[in-house]
Amino acid sequence: MASSVAHRVLIIKLGALGDFVQALGPMAAIRRHHPDARITLLTTKPYADFASSSKLIDDIWLDTRPSWWQLSRLFHFRQRLRQAQFNWAYDLQTSDRSNSYYRLLWPAPFPNWSGIAAGCSHPHRNPDRDLMHTIDRQREQLQMAGIEEIPVPELSWAQSDLSKFGLSPSYALLVPGGAGHRPAKRWPASFYGALAQWLVKHSIQPVLLGTSLESQALDEIRSLCPGALDLRDRTNFLAIPALARDAVCAIGNDTGPMHLISMAGCPTLVLYSHDSDPALCAQRGPAVTILRQNSLADLSLDTVINALKLQVAGLA
């Protein structure tokens, strides 16, 4: 069983955004289970400041992703791992890469290791783990390592100054983007534009979230609804949940920011296609509705509006 007397603890969580947000509950459980430990998070650069703000972590190491042929980099990373003398390691990434970091410690000594690396001390033994939702899978993994109570992720600590955005008293968040290599995960921009028009008619300011990589969709929505507030490239992982707390609602594709929004407690409507499975990765939160259509081009505006009406009191 895990012990609260560990002094140095390693958590491995590299990304992506949605997975990282859903790992915040397990991170909080590890922090609570090892209250006196020095906890190090091995992660990637996009999540470093966000993780630091959570106050769950003492030290952050950036994963430089050394390849097997980069022997010098691998050697130095191995030395760093060994010299840290971790008592416990919790691999919340459970990927080939994170498994390889366990093997780097060969021949010994190995810390207590929770994960799926062959030979680790506390493996997650469920053969159906890949069929579980991320949150449920990590909860069971930690329970097998002796951590019984795993809270839901919470983002009350994520704060940001919103006064610079010029928000209306009543606004809704629209997240029309997503991974560029997976266009099937996107509801058509023209539908978002029509939805933005509908929101304006109901005295709700549409607020567009995204980056310049999603400019084509954002520009199309703005052309259809000039009253929409475009915040592309103006938000970060702390600002998004802060925006979500005061929003009337949020509508978006299955993409990372929607996990931040749903966990912040905002009434959230997430649109899924055949390209991702909500049973494995759905956004969680107190007020989340999932709409799924084989092709999002076939998901009608009326269907989305009717779902919003059921979710948000006062919309008609």
- For 55-113, write each residue's pLDDT tens digit: 999 999 999 888 889 999 999 999 999 999 999 999 999 999 999 999 999 998 999 99
Placement of tokens 């994520």 in the chain: 158
Q: Where in the chain is the domain with CATH 3.40.50.2000?
A: 8-144, 163-311
DSSP letter string over 177-236? ---TT-GGG---HHHHHHHHHHHHHTT-EEEE---GGGHHHHHHHHHH-TTSEE-TTS--
CATH class of domain segment(s) 163-311:
alpha beta
pTM above 0.85, yes or no: yes
Asked if 261 and 268 count as a contact pair (C-beta separation under 8 A), the reply is yes
pLDDT of residue 4: 47
Read off the pLDDT of residues 245-277 as tens digits, 9 standing for 90 and up.
999 999 999 999 999 999 999 999 999 999 999
pLDDT per residue, tens digit, the chain (316 aa), is 444 456 999 999 998 999 999 999 999 999 999 999 999 999 999 999 999 999 999 999 999 888 889 999 999 999 999 999 999 999 999 999 999 999 999 998 999 999 999 999 999 999 999 999 999 999 999 999 999 999 999 999 999 999 999 999 999 999 999 988 899 999 999 999 999 999 999 999 999 999 999 999 999 999 999 999 999 999 999 999 999 999 999 999 999 999 999 999 999 999 999 999 999 999 999 999 999 999 999 999 999 999 999 999 878 7
Tokens of 310: 């059921």
For domain 8-144, give the CATH number: 3.40.50.2000
Phi/psi at 116 (5° precision): -130, 10
